[in-house]
Structure 1
Amino acid sequence: MASSSRSRLMLQLQSSPRLMLRLSPFLAIPSPSSSLSFSSNFRVSSSAQPTLQQPYPRSSEIVALEYADLNLSYNLDLGHVRIRQHVNPLSSSFSVPAQVPDWNQVFADPTLPLMVDIGCGSGRFLMWLAKRTPKERNFLGLEIRQRIVKRAEIWAKDLALNNIHFLFANATISFKQLVESYPGPLVLVSILCPDPHFKKRHHKRRVLQKPLVGAIVDNLMLGGQVFVQSDVLQVALDMRNQFDEVEALKHLDVSNPAILCDSEGWLLSNPMGIRTEREIHAELEGAKIFRRLIAQVIVQAMYKVGKIR
């Protein structure tokens, strides 16, 4: 985006209440979220003649601004790349586990704490985090849409990031063997706005199923966290309920009063310091984002053999 265009877009954003949030338990200080407000692109003047106001920026423009400091190239010979293209993870084409990479080849230091983003989409969210914590954490993005993964790999290479890696993988099939082979601790798992698969008969296609919950809990370090969010309440409730059934996990607002939640226990703000692309699109459409941040409070290996009740 040219600097002049970026300046004009910034002025539009500053005049609108729809501002980016910057808050994170790792990178910034939490603060309450701001509400979104919307109005028509038209207003009526004193002469009752409609006049056209300057329209709000499109969500794609705000996404570009949110990730502008990555300076990514979009002139890639990959054809049209659809982020929200739904696929059937139960298809035989996605039943083969992803090959475990040589962690010494993909990360400069494979002993660093690992964050795994399940369903990482374009990867920009994860690259933004990786760029800001190059010596503190490694990042692994798992995505079931292969063309999106190819683009993310090109971007990560262009950014010369040696603490991030993307894999074409069905997380339900591959997560367990991937994280169990990783030399360092698993410190954070995120599942952000996964495909909702609305029809009841398709709920079995949703990414978060009991085997994946078990694999996350079994491998998460003590104090490690799980961050889930969705703009679809039924999906958010499904994810929350599955993790709430695990005694070893507790929602962070229970022990940390600085974590601000609404009356239903949903986080008021994104704790990561950067919004995902789907999150931006949904908020601009007036949707509420339902978020939950959970921590491992019991050493699961001891819990499983009955040493902790």
Structure 2
Amino acid sequence: MLGLRWNCSASPPSSRFALCFTKSSSSFALIPAPLRAFRASCWSQCSRSPNLVELEYADLNLKDFYGAGCQVGHVRIRQHVNPLSSSFVAPVKVPEWKQVFSNPSLPLMVDIGCGSGRFLIWLAKHFPESRNYLGLEIRNKLVQRSQFWVKELGLKNIHFMFANATISFEHLVPAYPGPLTLVSILCPDPHFKKRHHKRRVVQKSLVDSVVKNLSLGGQVILQSDVLDVALDMRDQFDARADVLKHIDALDANFTCDAQGWLLENPMGIRTEREIHAELEGAKIYKRMYQKV
């Protein structure tokens, strides 16, 4: 499985990072200290999280598509959606993959609850030859905007779908021609009240479907800024220790704190929620598994 490696000088330009692939790692590589220090110096000059989001994703130039007539700028959406609503119980139609991706045989990454889509678009733009990228999101306005951005950027290796992942993942992924090599569930809706925990995206049925469809050596990345949600996700994936091993047990490049949470972001880019949470002083709890 191909991994991501950063190749940067001590003082890289603000929106151009040299990236390359290597077969020396089975996972996403950690960001080196010079790049972390450079980003920190930039972030210190921006005190509002929207500014930090724009900085993090500056090289996508998405602001170019915010102008009059685009109708895709800052959309108003409901923060939380009830996935058990009758409008979300039917699985989505499987697309014609050869119409969605220019090469549907490439390994697939699925981002469950992809939100605005910037995170996945960044990966698709910077690493076009390694994978196809599929974003599943339950808020349709965000999907429409993400697809508009994909079209404007001319990307042929990424697609967003309006879908309830708990229902549709098992329906979609087995129909994909290539292998499933990476699944990410990053800062999902917390649904704090105990009676609403059944609305959380990580349920046993989804975990079992991810494990079943993930290729050997494939990986799962989980993260949340809410400890209770992170623990819930961790416990459910830990329950499949028969086939899933935490990444620090397989790769010495990944280290954890005393509670078993990853100390570094393995993805090379932060999600919008991650940016907002860190600005507020919250800890981001991360786990990463590999199928063995």
Specify if TM > 0.5: yes
Change over 3 Å in CA distance of 1:34–1:104 after alignment to 2: closer
Pick aligned residue for 1:288 from 283, 287, 291: 283
Q: Distance in 2 between matches of 1:55 and 1:245?
A: 43
Aligned match of 1:64: 54
Q: Distance in 1 between matches of 2:90 and 2:32?
A: 43
**TM-score scaled by length of structure 2:** 0.84
Aligned match of 1:149: 143
Aligned match of 1:195: 189
Q: Distance in 1 between matches of 2:58 and 2:97?
A: 29
Higher relative contact order (CA 8 A, sep 6+): 1
Q: What letter corresponds to residue 103 of structure 2 in structure 1?
A: D
- Alpha-carbon RMSD: 2.6
Pick aligned residue for 2:176 from 182, 203, 208: 182
Give 1:74 shift.
Answer: 2.1
Change over 3 Å in CA distance of 1:78–1:132 after alignment to 2: closer
Aligned match of 2:234: 240
Give 1:57 shift.
Answer: 2.2
Aligned match of 2:269: 274
Q: Distance in 1 between matches of 2:76 and 2:258?
A: 36
Change over 3 Å in CA distance of 1:276–1:70 after alignment to 2: same
Q: Distance in 2 between matches of 1:266 and 1:34?
A: 19
Change over 3 Å in CA distance of 1:259–1:30 after alignment to 2: farther
Q: Distance in 1 between matches of 2:123 and 2:45?
A: 31
Q: Distance in 1 between matches of 2:179 and 2:74?
A: 37
Alignment of 1:91 onto 2:81: no
Q: Distance in 2 between matches of 1:82 and 1:268?
A: 34
Q: Distance in 2 between matches of 1:83 and 1:68?
A: 23
Once the two structures are superposed, residues 206-257 of structure 1 have per-residue CA deviations (whole angstroms, 9 ceiling, x without a partner) of 0000110010000000000000000000000000000000011010101211
Pick aligned residue for 2:216 from 196, 211, 222: 222
Q: What letter corresponds to residue 263 of structure 2 in structure 1?
A: L
Q: Distance in 2 between matches of 1:82 and 1:130?
A: 25
Aligned match of 1:74: 66
Alignment of 1:164 onto 2:140: no
Aligned match of 1:7: none
Query: 1:104-143 residue pairs with structure 2 within 5 A?
Result: 104-143=98-137
Aligned match of 2:250: 255
Once the two structures are superposed, residues 243-280 of structure 1 have per-residue CA deviations (whole angstroms, 9 ceiling, x without a partner) of 00001101010121110211111011110000000000
Q: Distance in 1 between matches of 2:74 and 2:275?
A: 21
Unaligned runs of 5+ in 2: 1-13, 38-43
Give 1:56 shift.
Answer: 4.5
Give 1:190 shift.
Answer: 0.2
Change over 3 Å in CA distance of 1:185–1:83 after alignment to 2: farther
Pick aligned residue for 1:103 from 75, 83, 97: 97
SS state of the match for residue 216, structure 2?
Answer: strand
Give 1:85 shift.
Answer: 1.0
Once the two structures are superposed, residues 273-296 of structure 1 have per-residue CA deviations (whole angstroms, 9 ceiling, x without a partner) of 000000000000000000000000
Q: Distance in 1 between matches of 2:50 and 2:185?
A: 22
